[in-house]
Amino acid sequence: MAIYETFGRHDNDLAIILFHLAENCYYTGNTAEAIKHEIRALNIFKSLYGEHSSEYVNELSYLAMYYEAAGKESDAVRVRKNSQIPKLNPTHRSDSPPS
């Protein structure tokens, strides 16, 4: 991650790396870090694709799930309400291979 950041690029690849880092943090119980990385990746997607794009909106459900895991239910509800997304089951991302 540190090496990739030295390129100074804020592109789709960095966002995907951050999304997977957030997911790993979530599954290891580090929800604060998961939220941090997910928000950073979402900001990149928002700047690349726009806040109404499917790329951006589809990822918001993970942020809501991470907020719930961190005990921040009001933040999770706010994310869902503002984006009109359903509640996710804590499973793998659609772009992750099944275990």
pLDDT confidence of residue 99 = 42
User: Which CATH number characterizes residue 27's domain?
Assistant: 1.25.40
CA gap 81, 79 in Å, rounded? 6
Domain that includes residue 68, residue range: 10-83
pLDDT confidence of residue 83 = 75
pLDDT confidence of residue 97 = 43
CA gap 3, 74 in Å, rounded? 36
| pTM as predicted | 0.77
pLDDT by 10s per residue, the chain, length 99? 666 666 667 788 899 999 999 999 999 999 999 999 999 999 999 999 998 888 899 899 999 999 999 999 999 999 988 876 556 666 555 554 444
Return the CA Rg of the chain: 13
pLDDT confidence of residue 19 = 97
Q: Do residues 2 and 25 touch, judged by C-beta distance below 8 A? A: no
Our count of domains for the chain comes to 1
